[in-house]
Amino acid sequence: MATLDLSNQRILVTGGAGFLGRQVIEQLCTAGAKREKITVPRSRDYDLRSLEACQQVVQQQDIVIHLAAHVGGIGLNRDKPAELFYDNLMMGTQLIHTAYQAGVQKFVCVGTICAYPKFTPVPFKEDDLWNGYPEETNAPYGVAKKALLVQLQAYRQQYGFNGIYLLPVNLYGPEDNFDPKSSHVIPALIRKVHEAQQKGEKQLPVWGDGSPTREFLYSTDAARGIVMGTQFYNDIEPVNLGTGEEISIRNLIELICDLMKFEGEIIWETDKPNGQPRRCLDIERAEQAFGFTAEVGFKEGLENTINWYRQHAT
């Protein structure tokens, strides 16, 4: 397995100031990258939906790791499908094209498991990616990100451009987005339980019926997987990053309530959407291709996330 020496590489990390991005930068440095050679374009300075901004940020870069995304939970997906499709497609497509034009050596694209078909057999294998349409609420986001895989494969075929595509499962961890308007399920539930405790409430309303299953990957594990892919993987096939462990939303909220010592009643709002019925990845390819396996146990990761939130909740 040929190793990409990161010590002399100029690396652009889009979304590098975000929840996952900060962890990726730490893992890059741990793997030998020089912090002063890592560039993080900020959205206030560069609107990556603009071709000109993409052309500017890729200049003089050896590696581009594309993490920037307009993303959120079921609520945001339902309210802003057009924005999610347009923003994610334009950012990714133009970055890939300008990186190729600028002579970037390697492009690492971080996709989404929202790209998988709604009824993908569990565990999701990478070869199932095209066997159906994604779950309706997150299809615009998922399809936009999946188009970037097609682009990278086409650019490899026609131009020999080295682009790889990684598919991390749902992420969680300290510093996650806890905004109720756009957060994903774990931070949303932690905040909801915390606020119920602060107000002395004895009931906790939760969307859906608790039946869907999800898989969660701790942010430092995800970042390590992305950096390992950057160092060791140079193939055309997409690669899942996950734990291979599945938990139902019902069991998840019970675990969070237990860890946070909330003893009230959970009220299932069955008129609200459930999202995709099951989600769990086949993680064999990542282990075989570049030796990645997750290290942080789920309960430990949840405790770390809860503790961080309680320390920073206003």
* Residue 214, annotated as binding a ligand: yes
Write out the two tokens for 224.
Answer: 């390590």
Please give the biggest Cα pair distance in the chain. 62
From the list 116, 141, 155, 165, the catalytic residue is 141
Known catalytic membership, residue 233: no
* Residue 20, annotated as binding a ligand: yes
* Residue 21, annotated as binding a ligand: yes
Helices 81-101 and 51-58, interaxial angle, to 10°?
40
Going by C-beta distance under 8 Å and a sequence separation of 6 or more, which residues neighbour residue 307?
174
* Residue 32, annotated as binding a ligand: no
CA atoms of 246 and 304, how far apart (whole Å): 20
Length of the chain: 314
* Residue 58, annotated as binding a ligand: no
CA atoms of 84 and 71, how far apart (whole Å): 7
* Residue 68, annotated as binding a ligand: no
* Residue 185, annotated as binding a ligand: no
* Residue 132, annotated as binding a ligand: no
* Residue 130, annotated as binding a ligand: no
| CA–CA distances in Å: residue 199 to residues 183, 192, 213, 243, 269 | 21, 11, 29, 35, 20
Residue numbers in the known binding site for NADP(+) are: 15-21, 145, 168-171, 184
Residue numbers in the known binding site are: 15-21, 145, 168-171, 184, 192, 207, 214
Catalytically active residues are: 141
Residue numbers in the known binding site for substrate are: 192, 207, 214
